[in-house]
Structure 1
Amino acid sequence: MPSTTSFSAALLIGGFAGRVAHAYTQVNVASPFMYKNIDPIVFPGQYNKSHLHSFYGSDAVTASTTTSAQLQAGCTNVENPNDLSVYWTPTLLYQNGESWDPVPVVRFSAYYSLGDNKAEVPIPQNLQMVAGLSSATTADAMPTEAHIEWFCENSEGGPADENGFPSSTCATHLQQLLYFPNCVNVDTLETGYKAGEPGNYKACPTGMKAMPQLRFSIRYDLRKVVPNGWSGTAPVKLACGNAFCTHGDFINGWTEDAAQNMVETTSTKTKFAAVNGGLGSDGEKPTCTSADADPDHGTSDYAESVAAMSKRSIPAFGWTSRNRMARTY
């Protein structure tokens, strides 16, 4: 079991339960297809309000995207042709000379839990969801239902530093886990979490039905960009600030037949269940090349995104400057 840097006892318990093997399906993405300072859920149509995000999935996404049909007209870099959803997170950054650049992503995985009992409904078309809170600057301010964790995969990472990241070098990857709501009102598209926690969920809120639960698992590789490692404060920050502000966004782009097939697979208790559909089979590599659908608006540069928000520095959001680096491997 890797050393966790969860932010509270409740999150630690949720993290351990979240890594117990349950029935699930997943889609994998090798890397983001785009970095951009847009957020079509929180700041629709705007290019000067959002921090920098890393985008995975359908490249049809723009600052104004609202529907599954819009995403389904695009090209996806997900390894399942039936999944034209778009997934995004605040970009993780490291200092490269005078600039802050994105930390390489080894793999982004979107897991869909098929776990405690069979889902009642598929993930609806046009569903939008957010997990986590971008304005959080402390562990206490984080939504506990998202069961967020940062930890070193397969190695010790020490306790969390003042920013919520591991306080010593990760021998392999820095990993993040993040859980989305697993209940939905199919008429209003309002979402919520079941009572309980991963591995021991109970009932949905009144008026909602259970759907497959989305979970992000993101693996970052710091070994090349921070070759000397660190001891103390991790030399990284999120575009929104420290680790406590992390969050995930999702607009559903699964084809309707594949989304329904996902429900049917939730009746199994095997460790993995493939979700196929009319566009192909699970695991098929992308056959198209993703590109920014709106290259004339917004920016992929962190400094430009900060300037667009009229913010002088992200540390104002809670990130604390790193300590002296020390080689640890």
Structure 2
Amino acid sequence: MPSLTLLSAALLTSGGLAHAYTQVNIATPFMTKNIDPIVFPGQHNKSHLHSFYGSDAVTIDTKTSAELQSGCTAAENPNDLSVYWTPTVLYQKGSTWEPVPVSRFSAYYSLGDTKAEVPIPQNLQMVAGNAQAQTADTMVAEAHSEWFCEGSDGGPLDKNGFPSKACTTHLQQLLYFPNCVDTTTLKTAYKAGRPGAYKACPAGTKAMPQLRFSIRYDVRKALPGGWSGTAPLQLACGPAHCSHGDFINGWTADAALNMVAATAEKNKFASVDGKLGKNGVRPTCKAADADPKRGTGNYAESVKAMSKREVVAVGWASRARLVRAL
């Protein structure tokens, strides 16, 4: 599959591919923790480590938009109380693995997609990618997961899917979520085609604004000496191939409806405002772990806890709603 790096850059230009979009920025994760309310609902110490962004009302029991809307959001849009999470990116520090600092998390909606028909439904849960993928050929192609050095040549990818040469700026990750939904069952799917050239949704589903993660990691701070060859990096789930993202919708209903209109015109950023304020307003509260006494943010402790799992989990991948996960 050809790289989407150049395509992603093209979508930001006025050259004709880009459609209207909105963007929400979040400075850093508000917590790192070994929980996953979609794959392991109600269960602690079953998941690998994740970095969480957005509403701090999330716990292992979170299921609804209303629950998230009762929290404090770290997003620079007061109407976005969604929660977003990804496997924590780690760098090798001596004999331990530590989280790589995040420079910025951005959630783009409908960048390069066609006009949406319906808003993202309340209570929608989605996963993009495959947490079990250990090789490139087992990744979910529709998620278009990609790792590259922002604005510089990171060389060919190493055996684990990371750039083989140190990044002079940030290590950047892109990940695309399903853009079709059955509004009754909340089952999601991808349109035929690819970013910038999407076609129709599967029968029984309608187009909604497409979510795309764009995350910049400060590898210069974590690894000031750089690297050449195999990058001293891994995800909490393994190599870059297991990259995935999770999302539970927490947008207020009025802002979610406004987002549909934001996808109508080509080549234009559209601010999505709502009853709680305007896009771009920085948080006035401090997001924090809602359940600090349970779970861990330490990678070694999370690995130890996972080794005690007694059951095989039923998880999600973006290719299909339910898959068997190890």
| TM-score normalized with structure 1 length | 0.90
Aligned-partner Cα distance in 2 for 1:120–1:220 = 34
In 1, Cα distance between the equivalents of 2:193 and 2:6? 14
Q: Which amino acid aligns with 2:90?
A: L
Q: Secondary structure at the match of 2:302?
A: helix
Instruction: Note closer, same or farther for the CA distance 1:230–1:67 as it changes in structure 2 (3 Å cut).
Output: same
Distance 2:267 2:283 in 1: 27
The yes-or-no answer on 1:93 pairing with 2:90 is: yes
For 1:275 and 1:203, locate their aligned partners in 2 and report how far apart those are by CA, in whole Å: 25
Q: Secondary structure at the match of 1:224?
A: helix
Matched residue, 1:287: 284
The structure 2 residue matched to 1:165, chosen from 162, 165, 168, is 162
Structure 2 gap segments, 5+ residues each: 12-17, 309-326
CA distance in 1, matches of 2:265, 2:271: 11
Give the match for residue 225 of structure 2.
228
Cα deviations across residues 130-159 of structure 1 (Å, max 9, x unaligned)?
A: 000000000000010001110000000000
Does structure 1 retain, via aligned residues, the 8 Å contact 2:255–2:272? yes
Aligned equivalent of 1:153, options 150, 155, 158: 150
Q: Note the 1:32-47 alignment, pairs <5 A.
A: 32-47=29-44
**Counterpart check, 1:111 vs 2:108:** yes
Quote how far apart the aligned CAs of 1:96 are: 2.1
Cα distance between partner residues in 2 of 1:115 and 1:215: 10
Contact 2:113 2:210 in 1 (8 A): no
Work out whether 1:193 is the aligned partner of 2:190: yes
Of the three residues 11, 16, 31, the one matched with 2:6 is 16
Q: What amino acid sits opposite 1:203 in the alignment?
A: A
CA distances 1:1-27 after superposition (whole Å, capped 9, x unpaired): xxxxxxx33xx2x44333322221100
1:244 aligned to 2:234?
no
Whether 1:52 and 2:49 are equivalent positions in the alignment is: yes
Q: Is the 8 A contact 1:114 1:265 kept in 2?
A: no
C-alpha separation in 1, matches of 2:307 and 2:146 = 30
Q: Which amino acid aligns with 1:71?
A: L
**Matched length:** 302
Which digits, 9 at most, give the CA deviation of each residue in 1:149-208, with x for residues without a partner? 100000000000000000011000000000000000000000000000000000000100
Q: 1:99 to 1:172 in 2, by over 3 A?
A: same
Residue 121 of structure 2 is matched in structure 1 by 124
SS in 1 for 2:219: coil
Code of the residue aligned with 2:43 in structure 1: it is Q
Read off the aligned partner of 1:139 and give its amino acid letter. A
1:78 aligns with 2:75: yes
List per-residue Cα deviations over 1:11-61 (Å, max 9, x = no partner): x2x443333222211000110000000000000011121000000000000
111-120 vs 44-53, greater mean Cα deviation: 111-120
1:92-124 deviation line (CA, Å, top 9, x unaligned): 001223321100000000000154432110000
Q: Name which of 285, 307, 312 aligns with 1:310.
A: 307
C-alpha distance in 2 between matches for 1:139 and 1:73: 39
Instruction: Report what 1:25 is aligned to.
Output: 22
Percent of residue pairs bearing the same amino acid type:
72
Q: Distance in 1 between matches of 2:121 and 2:8?
A: 24
Counterpart-to-counterpart distance in 1, 2:218 and 2:155: 17
Deviation of the 1:226 alpha carbon = 0.8
Deviation track 1:305-328 (CA, whole Å, cap 9, x = no partner) reads 0000017xxxxxxxxxxxxxxxxx
Scaled by the length of structure 2, the TM-score of the pair is 0.90
Match of 2:303, SS state, is helix
Are positions 1:268 and 2:258 aligned together? Answer: no
- Preserved CA contact (<8 Å) 2:37 2:59: yes
- Contact 1:183–1:191 under 8 Å retained in 2: yes
Q: In the aligned structure 1, how far is the partner of 2:179 from the partner of 2:281?
A: 26
SS in 1 for 2:221: coil
Find the aligned partners of 1:310 and 1:115 in 2 and give their Cα distance. 41
Cα-Cα RMSD: 1.3
Name the aligned partner's letter for residue 10 of structure 2.
Answer: V
Give yes or no for the alignment of 1:209 onto 2:213: no
